[in-house]
Amino acid sequence: MLTIYGSDLSGPAIKTRLTASYLGIDYKWQLVNLREKEQKQEWFLKINPAGKVPALDDDGFHLFESNAICKYLCDKYDSALYPKDIRKRAVIDQWIDFVSFHILAYYVPVMVNRLFAPLRGLPVDEKAMLDGENGLKQYFPLIEAQLTKNAFLTGTAVCLADIILFAVLEPTEMAKIDLSPYPKLTAWRSGLKKQPFYTRCYKEYGEMLKVPASR
């Protein structure tokens, strides 16, 4: 049995879960109790020595890092999400890297300081949050321009880069990040939220904050 270890609030873990769901594969979603530091226990460190989620166990084959897990799943199940054609794959990798190094890099400081810091009673880093917002204002327009040309990031069909960007943006409403200046991005996101690969995982990101703290 293929097992993905994750947390309902972890963007990288959500990324792998949505990929597996989109592929329609048989897998087990195993919650890891992050608040109790289950990810630092010896049994988990044998799967991911970094002590973080997500991690994958595919009949004894262990893998960590979310993008690597997503690509592995696409290759294993020969999915068009991540095609074999070298040029198509290169363009998808380009957008995966763009999301990881530009969107996510600025999104996280906003999300952490606006959503999780207050929830956990931690101090808010106003400068980091402002820098993050300014960075998103710089790079969201490039996503908007791409979705103006194409229905999805690389063309007419969903690709792995779409799934990864979609997962990164999951906390948007809870983090009060305004996407209204980007109508194409907003419509793209709304469309994906209606697809079965998403709805069979959960209703929306905000619902996860209502589950017990151990999750």
- Domain of residue 21, CATH code: 3.40.30.10
Q: Are residues 178 and 124 in the same domain?
A: yes
CA distance 29 to 27: 7
Q: Is there a contact between 23 and 71 (Cβ–Cβ < 8 Å)?
A: no
Q: Are residues 154 and 205 in the same domain?
A: no
Q: What pLDDT was estimated at residue 208? A: 63
CA distance 184 to 143: 9
Q: What pLDDT was estimated at residue 121? A: 87
In a domain, 101, yes or no: yes
Q: Are residues 126 and 176 in the same domain?
A: yes
Q: What pLDDT was estimated at residue 202? A: 83
Q: What pLDDT was estimated at residue 146? A: 98
CA distance 158 to 83: 11
DSSP-assigned beta bridge partners for residue 30: 5
Q: Is there a contact between 64 and 108 (Cβ–Cβ < 8 Å)?
A: no
Q: What pLDDT was estimated at residue 209? A: 66
Structural domain including 49 reads 2-80+200-210
Q: How far is CA 51 from the centre of its chain?
A: 18
In a domain, 215, yes or no: no
Q: What pLDDT was estimated at residue 215? A: 37
Q: For the chain of 215 residues, list the mean pLDDT of each consecutive stretch of 10.
A: 93 96 96 91 95 97 97 98 98 98 97 90 94 98 98 97 97 94 98 96 74 41
Q: Are residues 189 and 205 in the same domain?
A: no
Q: What pLDDT was estimated at residue 214? A: 38
Q: Is there a contact between 5 and 44 (Cβ–Cβ < 8 Å)?
A: yes
Q: Are residues 42 and 132 in the same domain?
A: no
Q: What pLDDT was estimated at residue 213? A: 40
